[in-house]
């Protein structure tokens, strides 16, 4: 089922006050400014980090990530 049709079906079974919230949210999304840089514009950076640096980063991530310092908080 296409998304629009599914949203309409859900709206039909919602109370009016929730329908109004959905409408307000949809309007705010329509006005939202798209931020960020498309990946296509970043492709010229591909391959610029030396392999040795990438290996150092990977090692640091593997050693230090997912560690919890209970006394830190």
Pseudo-torsion of CA 47, 49, 50, 55, nearest 10°? -110
Residue 59 is assigned to a structural domain of this protein: yes
- Asked if residue 26 belongs to a domain, the reply is yes
How far apart, in whole angstroms, are the C-alpha atoms of residue 66 and residue 31?
38
In a domain, 71, yes or no: no
| Tokens of residue 65, six digits | 């990530």
Domain count, the chain: 1
DSSP state, 43?
G
For the segment 15-27, the average pLDDT, to the nearest whole number, is 97
Residue 53 sits in which domain range? 3-32+41-65
Residue 51 lies in a domain: yes
pLDDT in tens, 26-48: 999 999 988 899 999 999 999 99
Token pair for 51: 């392999």
Q: Is 18 inside a domain boundary?
A: yes
The answer to whether residue 14 sits within a structural domain is yes
Global pTM? 0.48
Half-sphere exposure of 45 (CA within 13 A, CB side): 7
């Amino acid at each position: 089922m296409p998304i629009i049709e599914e949203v309409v079906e859900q709206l039909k079974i919602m109370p009016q006050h929730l329908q109004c919230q959905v409408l307000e949210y949809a309007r705010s999304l329509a006005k939202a400014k798209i931020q960020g840089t498309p990946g296509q514009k970043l492709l010229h950076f591909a391959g610029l980090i030396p392999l040795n640096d990438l290996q150092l980063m990977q090692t640091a991530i593997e050693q230090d990530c997912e560690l919890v310092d209970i006394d830190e908080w």
